[in-house]
Structure 1
């Protein structure tokens, strides 16, 4: 959009007043709507350095437009014009404002119409291009905004074959390289959008490969797993952060994305030992804790339990834990037994859980020698093999007893259990929180 209006505003209040006038414009002709949008982009980009320096102020500016009369009466047309602007503009301030609009508008509407329109108009290859553009890389706020937009617009719909073909090995290695070089602080806000883009790309590859095989076509190369297969020793920080996020995350859909990556990593011979041994031990602790935290009377929790067990099997069978000394062998066996022991659930143990537990316990190193079969009541400080401390009307104290008995060393992960992979088929809507036994007890 070419800018046709210049502004000379003296203070921040004048800026917001002018913005309110623009977004309140009442018009019907497309030419007048275009002029109003040009004015909006002109005033926001002209004064971005002065009044829109923070993410909050940018969001406030975007929501002025979303809630204004101009957009509310011409939503489809305004969205399409903003998308065309994303496809055509190269000016960083303009890109920042249009990307912010698409991100917040997409999150704001429940029917995903914005992200679907972006998909129809072919925005994904453009995002791949922009994220790698040197001038964009120098603008950290814009770069992070585009990463967030790629993640949000890709996790609610399937990418096309052409979209997937726009991703090459260099793009994935570029993202992994940034994660490796940003900082050692897992709380660095730059880590999260980078990791989430890689997670959603892996999901897209997994779904695409499954679909193409089902339709009799050849598979598609998963470039995320390929990058870890060929350069895993160089990009260890990604794996470390996966475990940290799995330990902290309470949103089911995000946890599923993490678990799907883990499923493929441990199921691939070239990446099965990708994690440092110490990090692998932490992962085992997280898995054990989350399995015991899942309530036993929730259908959603059952789905998570099943997929957790699907992930646990390749970890036990293929990672370093399969070699002596076997980390927490007794604790793993004890927990697996508890998942299928009669009387430990409000409802009978389902057949899928029994089958998946049997698969896990069939791993050779878990079979011999047999574990100590002495069972002591939880009141004596040990975990009974026939009575779970997290059964029936359990309390927080009993749950903590179970965790201590299982030797869980992970702290600060919160009480929420982590969602689980149902491989390619299992998904959840964004925003849904993972079931947690602690939450059930507290309520």
Structure 2
């Protein structure tokens, strides 16, 4: 069976007929499979500029191969050969076809992404995404970003994979977002942001399972935002926009994990513009209200929102006067711990996390104004308006402070004393995941049914 021939197809109908013929080839030996795959890549790369100009046409081409007998009869071998092409080829059209195949196959079968990682595909993707000739090919570049995101969010990356990510790579991604900041609909926005989100999650997970075989690894996403936050504000703006409209739980969690680390780190706690921070508070309050009380998935998500809300209240500029929506925040927090019923009481974790938020100093009851002269305590003069919160300096505050240092240690490699409460929160936030495609429980959607 001679497949290595020059193709001279006269029209689109002949092109798709040829793809069908190759995809339905019956092969009994690996050599014949290799010949058929070479034929597939030969014809597709030869006519990519004519008949594969859109994402739809590229997906259609990939599914022809995925549904043909050539693949269905030899799935593992074909997948591995395609992965080897990704690792070895440098021709843009070939890379485009193999990346598309792996992306569409992997979205249906996790085993493809797992095989990619086992073969060392992640460092290769990092390399390709930074290659100048690929950066000039916007469609291919975007495809590789999507492949990196999809293949990374369903499995844990190895220490070697994460060390392939450099500061320069993260800053490059942030620069892309800044470069298209004037166009919220730019196709680059979403793929690049999602790559940064999934990288952050990988760092967070890695920080909770330190190995004696490898040194701790720095979260380069948080590091970049901590050291260059003023330069890359658009990323933060987009996080809020995405959280506001995202209905898929897994993506909400990715965003919340970035927020948790940003606000838990003193170097990045004031990363957001104040106006954007106010919008973020509004979104979090709305989402907390919208979560139903009778759903285990909603309860778990509520816990994560509360774990994120605490460092926002404690560490961001909202903790400084004038305090944004103090009464509304207190009203919601109290509602969360009093809205249970006899049949469905509020769970202990929710109560504990809410009380932790309420104990933030600026949410404490306001001092009563009096006409009396300032009192003296322990030889120090003070007034009612400057009275220190009763929880400042308490054991709970000490634990909280230790916990914030624990966040910094785990995410930025800082060596400080471990903390209890927030160390637990780090673990809980890190391990909270959801399968892609699962929608967040919503009172609003339930009411519309």
TM-score, L = length of structure 1 = 0.86
Cα displacement (A) at 1:185: 2.2
- 1:91 maps to 91
1:301 to 283, 298, 302: 298
- 1:105 maps to 105
1:139 to 129, 132, 137: 137
2:314 to 311, 314, 317: 317
Q: CA RMSD in A?
A: 1.7
- 2:76 maps to 76
C-alpha contact (below 8 Å) 2:178/2:232 kept by paired residues: yes
- 2:445 maps to 439
1:149-188 equivalences in 2 (<5 Å): 149-188=147-186
1:196-235 equivalences in 2 (<5 Å): 196-212=194-210, 218-235=215-232
SS at match of 1:312: helix
Unaligned 5+ segments in structure 1 are 372-419
Cα displacement (A) at 1:346: 5.8
- 1:404 maps to none
- 1:378 maps to none
- 1:414 maps to none
1:56 aligns with 2:48: no
1:331 aligns with 2:331: no
- 1:27 maps to 27
SS at match of 1:53: coil
Cα displacement (A) at 1:343: 4.9
- 2:372 maps to none
- 1:292 maps to 289
C-alpha contact (below 8 Å) 2:274/2:317 kept by paired residues: yes
SS at match of 2:93: helix
TM-score, L = length of structure 2 = 0.85
- Alignment deviations for residues 322-371 of structure 1 (CA, whole Å, 9 cap, x no partner): 01110000000000010011556861011111100000000000003179
- 2:245 maps to 248
- Alignment deviations for residues 26-48 of structure 1 (CA, whole Å, 9 cap, x no partner): 11111111010001001000000
1:412-427 equivalences in 2 (<5 Å): 422-427=428-433
Cα distance, 1:317–1:19 mapped onto 2, change above 3 Å: same
- Alignment partners' CA distance in 1, 2:51 and 2:158: 39
- Alignment deviations for residues 205-240 of structure 1 (CA, whole Å, 9 cap, x no partner): 011111007x69753100000000111100000000
- 1:38 maps to 38
- 1:268 maps to 265
Which shifted more, 77-86 or 343-352?
Answer: 343-352
- Alignment partners' CA distance in 2, 1:343 and 1:173: 46
2:436 to 427, 430, 442: 430
Q: Which runs of 4+ in 1 moved over 3 A?
A: 215-218, 342-346
C-alpha contact (below 8 Å) 2:208/2:427 kept by paired residues: no
- Alignment deviations for residues 88-122 of structure 1 (CA, whole Å, 9 cap, x no partner): 0000000000000000000022xx11001001100
SS at match of 1:205: helix
C-alpha contact (below 8 Å) 2:248/2:438 kept by paired residues: yes
1:118 to 113, 116, 119: 116
Cα distance, 1:191–1:338 mapped onto 2, change above 3 Å: same
Give the aligned length.
Answer: 390
SS at match of 1:13: helix
C-alpha contact (below 8 Å) 1:179/1:238 kept by paired residues: yes
C-alpha contact (below 8 Å) 1:295/1:440 kept by paired residues: no
C-alpha contact (below 8 Å) 1:256/1:421 kept by paired residues: no
Cα displacement (A) at 1:423: 1.1
- Alignment partners' CA distance in 2, 1:332 and 1:51: 56
1:190 aligns with 2:196: no
Cα distance, 1:97–1:80 mapped onto 2, change above 3 Å: same
C-alpha contact (below 8 Å) 2:181/2:234 kept by paired residues: no
Cα displacement (A) at 1:4: 3.0
If you compute each CA radius of gyration, which structure gives the higher value, 1 or 2? 2
C-alpha contact (below 8 Å) 1:294/1:301 kept by paired residues: yes
- Alignment partners' CA distance in 2, 1:141 and 1:189: 10
- Alignment partners' CA distance in 2, 1:63 and 1:238: 34
Unaligned 5+ segments in structure 2 are 369-425
- Alignment partners' CA distance in 1, 2:157 and 2:292: 34
Cα displacement (A) at 1:186: 2.0
Cα distance, 1:80–1:193 mapped onto 2, change above 3 Å: same
- 2:423 maps to none
